[in-house]
Amino acid sequence: MKFTTLSGIAVSAVLAGAIGFTALAYAADADVIAARRGLMKANGTAAKAIGGMLDGSAKFDAATAGDGAKAMVAAGHGFGAEFDKNFPDSTMTGDTKASPDIWKNKDDFKKRAMALEADATAAVAAAAKGEGDFKAAAGKVFGNCKGCHEKYRLK
């Protein structure tokens, strides 16, 4: 009798542990998704500021331009070089617009993110040189957004 009760307790403990672990895993996945979406949100905010300078609705400002391009570098870096950290398999589902195709074409996806990082890095340097240089470099940066979203972002 005593033995049965004890093993019952042991089983409950193991089960509670397993459930606790699952809850933790979900919380961690939600954090990872929120973090990568945060990188893209900052990227989107930067794109608005920079887009205004490109279409002439906002005045060129070297500091704003440089900071915006830096946010784009960070997004490109997070989605490419740090892919494994920001896109573990377990984050394919959840509160995310990331297409499952990302995980089928990891190399293509990372290549696109690295291209964003490289083009945005050039734009950071160009921002320090002046308006003309920055506009040319920033125009190139924007080419990366649409191509990747069409293939890898769910509507």
Give me the residues that bind ligand HEC (CB under 6 A), please: 33, 36-37, 40-41, 43-44, 47, 72, 79, 96-98, 109, 112-113, 116, 141, 144-145, 148-149, 152-153
**Of 8 and 44, CB closest to ligand HEC:** 44
Closest by CA to 60, choosing from 133, 117, 115, is 133
**Smallest gap from residue 8 Cβ to ligand HEC (A):** 43
Q: Any long-range contacts for 59-67 (C-beta under 8 Å, 24+ apart)?
A: 60/131, 60/134, 60/135, 62/127, 62/128, 62/130, 62/134, 65/123, 65/127, 65/134, 65/138, 66/124, 66/127, 66/128
Both tokens of 10, joined, read 């042991």
**Of 4 and 107, CB closest to ligand HEC:** 107
Q: State residue 97 phi and psi, 5-degree precision.
A: -105, 10
**Of 65 and 116, CB closest to ligand HEC:** 116
**Of 123 and 131, CB closest to ligand HEC:** 123
Residue with the shortest CB distance to ligand HEC: 44
**Smallest gap from residue 9 Cβ to ligand HEC (A):** 42
